[in-house]
């Protein structure tokens, strides 16, 4: 592994149902994470709960991430954009990280170009992007590799070189998301990690590329986290459904922390 930083990122998606449940889940994760030493824990709740987590968050090492941001008017961070949330508003809610390009948002129409605009906004606002990439399907001809390449190249094409090392890339093959025990194997994960690194080297050179952290997402469970982190050549995980159970999530964090 090139990087010294390790991450476990919880993507709560459109869960839990209420603010009371969100605070309880966060507090339970917070309580159980006091002995974690070497791993950054990032919780990304629905935007409506950011204020609740901000209150529960004080004095804690857990960071808060957002699941989305709007890209228009990045400098003023305000305007007539019904339903959208600006980077400034996220910062005001103690957000430090932003997920961008998640496959579930791409499925709703978010293109590589939109992802690039959002990523630019996040970087300009000095927040840390968690750039999600990953193929929908695997084909024997290897077309999926060009798909991943295009996602990375478009998203990163306008990012100043000195900001690249602050980006976390989350490789999330869509076919492996939300499948329970059907995560990718560590050998395939290792191969893709090398491939992503190769793309970054060709875009930015070896030194910058080696500073980028790659995490894996897609059916990470406490039962498979150990073999993935040991064999996958990755810096941690983006965890979906298992992040909604504090004890499951913390077990995954402990595995990463001890790796
Ligand atoms: C995700 O959607 O980001 C994800 C990793 O989901 P899951 O862990 O549920 O597969």
Q: Which of 7, 10, 11 to mutate to test the pocket of ligand 1 (most atoms within 8 A of CB)?
A: 11
Q: Where are the domains of the chain?
A: 6-257
Distance (Å, whole) CA 235 – CA 232:
9
How far, in Å, is the centroid of ligand 1 from the Cα of 178?
Answer: 5
Q: How far apart are CA 189 and CA 149, in angstroms?
A: 16
* CA-218 nearest atom, ligand 1: 10
Residue nearest to atom 4 of ligand 1 (CA): 240
For residue 25, the number of C-alpha atoms closer than 13 Å in the C-beta half-sphere is 25
Instruction: Over range 141-169, report the average pLDDT.
Output: 93
**Active-site residue (options: 104, 135, 172, 233):** 172
Strands (E), the chain: 6-11, 39-44, 63-66, 95-100, 128-133, 168-171, 213-217, 236-239
Q: pLDDT tens, 71-101?
A: 987 778 889 999 999 999 999 999 999 999 9
Question: Cα(133)–Cα(112) distance, rounded to whole angstroms?
Answer: 10
Is residue 50 within a helix (H) or strand (E), and if so which, with residue range? Answer: helix 50-57
Ligand 1 atom having least distance to the Cα of 132: 3
Residue 139 CA to ligand 1 center (angstroms) comes to 21
* CATH number of the domain located at residue range(s) 6-257 in this protein: 3.20.20.70
Winning range, highest mean pLDDT, from 53-57, 110-114, 177-181: 110-114
- Full DSSP string of 115-178: HHHHHHHHHHTTPEEEEEE--SS--TT-HHHHHHHHHHHHHHTTS-GGGGGGPEEEE--GGGTT
Question: Is pLDDT above 50 for 196?
Answer: yes
Residue recorded with tokens 């994960």 = 189
pTM score, whole prediction: 0.94
């Amino acid at each position: 592994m090139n990087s010294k930083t390790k991450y476990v990122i919880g993507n709560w998606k459109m869960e839990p149902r209420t603010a009371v449940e969100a605070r309880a889940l966060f507090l339970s994760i917070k309580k159980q994470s006091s002995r974690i030493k070497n791993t950054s824990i990032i919780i990304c709740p629905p935007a409506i709960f950011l204020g609740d987590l901000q209150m529960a968050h004080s004095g804690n090492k857990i960071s808060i991430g957002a699941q989305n941001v709007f890209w228009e008017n990045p400098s003023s961070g305000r305007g007539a954009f019904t339903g959208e949330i600006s980077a400034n508003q996220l910062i005001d809610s103690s957000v430090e990280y932003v997920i961008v390009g998640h496959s579930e948002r791409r499925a709703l129409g978010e293109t590589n170009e939109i992802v690039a605009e959002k990523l630019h906004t996040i970087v300009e606002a000095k927040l840390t992007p968690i750039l999600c990439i990953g193929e929908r399907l695997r084909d024997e001809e290897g077309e999926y590799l060009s798909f991943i390449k295009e996602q990375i190249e478009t998203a990163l094409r306008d990012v100043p070189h000195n900001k690249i090392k602050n980006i976390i890339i989350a490789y999330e093959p869509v076919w492996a998301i939300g499948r329970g025990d059907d995560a990718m194997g560590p050998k395939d994960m290792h191969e893709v990690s090398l491939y992503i690194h190769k793309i970054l080297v060709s875009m930015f050179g070896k030194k910058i590329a080696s500073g980028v952290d790659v995490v894996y997402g897609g059916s990470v469970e406490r039962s498979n986290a150990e073999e993935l982190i040991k064999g996958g050549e990755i810096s941690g995980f983006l965890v979906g459904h298992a992040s909604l159970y504090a004890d499951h999530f913390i077990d995954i964090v402990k595995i990463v922390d001890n790796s």
